[in-house]
Each structure stands twice: as structure tokens, then as C-alpha cells.
Amino acid sequence: MDLSLTETQKAVQDTAREFATRVIAPVAREIDEKERFPREILKGLAELGLMAVNVPEELGGAGAGVVSYALAMQEIARACASTAVTMAVTNMVGEVIAAFGSDEQKARCCAKLASGEWIAGAFALSESEAGSDPGGMRTVATKDGTDWVLDGAKQWITSGAHAGVMVVWARTADRATHPGTRGISCFLVEGGTPGLKVGRAEDKMGIRGSNTVPLTFDGCRIPESALLGQLHGGFKIAMMALDGGRIGISAQAIGIARAALEESVRYALERKQFGKAIAEFQAIQWKLADMRTQLDASHLLCMRAAWLKENKREFSREASMSKVYATEAANRIANMAVQIHGGYGYIREFAAERHLRDARVTMIYEGTSEVQRVVVARSLLT
């Protein structure tokens, strides 16, 4: 089995690592502390092709594939998880438009997302009463003449206040005629559209430099051409986009965990107790060994899921396995990093506490750990 990277994958990884180390890492703490949405960094990512890594070149993307995307995501998250999630959602939005959009939609949106002219994209699926069960959404789209009119509210929308374009799901037929998830459609809504109101940003435990807002649609009128994909076919688009998104979040978790491990190794070699470096104690060595083993297992699961998607094979189960394992491992690893740092792990002077706060949400968004297990179990039992 050949696990070596292609030249393109290596180049994308190197580019992301260099930018992350030189530009992002030095300001990551400040981004977290000030809850600052890092516009200039996102622009920089776009200039490097990292906002549309797996979007075809003819649409303005880098066309570098899913493995390259996962590798880049790991590098950016290693420096700053807030920047990474903004990048992840923007890449997902670009990909979903490239995959399901009309020629006009692709031409209008992909290049702007890729170039940073639109600083971010947003994925507006969840609602306050419909998170793990998006089929229970209440937002509706009603036809009025040739327009669609959106009414309802979305919750926990990453980059909702900054997005140039949002992918928005709404019910277009009632359950009587279209049972279950079959009456849901998907629309492209540009930021600033009249009738779209952005609510107050959430005060979060981690990824504090990313923007998470509720959105309200109050008679928000969009043209017929805003429909993305088939009428009533939106739920499958969401599921397929999330399958890919879960690879991105597992890569984000791996990046956070890698930072936590690297800092733990450094600290363990420097910190002296009982007259020697704590790295000399087996209690610390075993933690480091467990952290590295779980990190590598996460990476291999992530690479397999990315490779399957890139090669147009089925990858839904593998993406969920990658997400549930990598995000839970990242939480264990970040927690062990705090333990290795002792009292210093609990204060802001060191990054260990930020990694633990940032890692936590990866087990929740783009499908909770519980939902990932549902996907894996269903694939075994049906």
C-alpha cells in the first residue's frame, strides 16, 4: 500500500503549512481572545487557493482534490481552529454549488468564493428545533409568481454575518403530499438580500474567532433561479454535502490534536520536576504515546475517506467513522495536553486550554458523534 502523497498534495500541504506557521499561528491567540473574524487571513487563504481546494479549476477553484483539501485543513486547524472552520464551510459551499448548481449559479458563485471576493460561504440547514433531525425543519419557501419567498429561522450558522452566499434549505411542499424529507428544497441566497436578518453572534466556548449566528427570513424574496438542484430534492443535497463536510471536520480535529501533541512534547522536555524533565517519567511518556497513536489512527481514517471521495467511491460511512473517531480522539488528546501542562494547561498563557475548548465542538457540528454512529450502524444493518 502506497501512502505517499502526490506532488500536488505535497505542494498544497506545504503551502498551507507555511502560511499557517508564518501568518496564522502568531495571531491565533488574539483571534480567540478578541473573538475576531480574521478577514485578512481568509483573503490570504483565498489567494493561495485554499478556499476552494476541491472546486474545479474551470470554476475558479484549485482543482486539487479531496486529499489535498483534508491535508490543508489539518495544517490550518493546527494553527487556528476558528480560521479552519470558516475555511471548511466555505469550501463545502463552493463544492456543493459546483456539484449541484446550474451553469449560471456556478459561474456567479464559485469564482467569488474561491477568490475571496466573497469572504465566506454559509450553510444554513439547522434550526433551533431541527439540528440532528434537519428533516424536521420549519422554514418554508412559497412560490409567488416566478419568485420564491422564504420565511423561517436558521440557527448556529457559521459565517452567517459575513457570507457572500448562503445555501439555505426550506420546505417547498407539505408532509401530506411529500412525506419525510421529500418536500425540502435548497436555495442560494446572497448576503444582504432584503428580508434576511442576521441575529446576534453566539458567545461560544471555543472557535471564538468564527462567526456563528441565527438567521431570520421574513418574506425574503429570491428569484426562481435561486433554486439549487431539483425541486424537493434538497435533503439529499444536504446529506451529500455533509458527507464531504465530515471529512473536513475530522481533518480540523486532527489539526487541533496535532498542535496539542506538539506543544505537549515541547513542554514535557522543558518542564522539570523532581530534578528532571517530566518527559522522563513514564506517566507522561505513556500519555504522549497514546496521543500519537490516536492521532495517526485519526489521520489514516481521514485519508481513507478523502481518497474514497476523490476517487468517486462510496464514502459516507467512512466519512462518519473518520469524524467520530478523529473528533473524539482530538478531545482526549487535547485533554491529555492540558494534564501534561499541569496548572499551566489551565491558564491562557499556554495554548493547551484553547485547543481543548476548540476541539469540543467538533463532536457536535456537521453531525454529532451520535449521528455519525447512526450512519455507521445503519450501513452495517441495512
Positions touching ligand COS (CB under 6 A) are 123, 125-126, 131-135, 180-182, 235-236, 239-240, 242-243, 316, 365-367, 371, 374-375
Question: Taking Cα atoms as reference points, which of 239, 237, 211 lies closest to residue 367?
Answer: 239
| Min CB(184)–ligand COS separation in Å | 10
Smaller CB separation from ligand COS, 123 or 350: 123
Residue 333 φ/ψ, nearest 5 degrees: -65, -45
For the record, the C-alpha cell of 80 comes out as 487556528
- The CA distance from 252 to 212, in Å, is 17
Residue burial 283-304, b: 16+ Cβ < 10 Å; e: rest: ebeebbeebbebbeebbebbbb
Smaller CB separation from ligand COS, 263 or 318: 318
Q: Are 249 and 358 in contact (CB under 8 A)?
A: no
Smaller CB separation from ligand COS, 221 or 236: 236
Strands 165-171 and 147-158: unpaired
- The CA distance from 191 to 281, in Å, is 55
Q: Are 190 and 178 in contact (CB under 8 A)?
A: no
| Min CB(349)–ligand COS separation in Å | 32
| Min CB(154)–ligand COS separation in Å | 10
Element (H, E) at 71: helix 66-79
Element (H, E) at 148: strand 147-158
| Min CB(286)–ligand COS separation in Å | 35
47 flagged as catalytic: no
DSSP state of 161: T
For the record, the C-alpha cell of 281 comes out as 517519567
| Min CB(365)–ligand COS separation in Å | 4
Instruction: Identify residue 314 by its one-letter amino acid code.
Output: E
Smaller CB separation from ligand COS, 171 or 287: 171
For the record, the C-alpha cell of 8 comes out as 500536488
- The CA distance from 287 to 237, in Å, is 41
**Cβ-closest residue to ligand COS?**
367
Question: Taking Cα atoms as reference points, which of 373, 262, 342 lies closest to residue 21?
Answer: 262
User: Which of 75, 310, 353, 366 is flagged as catalytic?
Assistant: 366
Smaller CB separation from ligand COS, 48 or 240: 240
| Min CB(166)–ligand COS separation in Å | 12
For the record, the C-alpha cell of 241 comes out as 454535502
Q: Which residues are catalytic?
A: 366
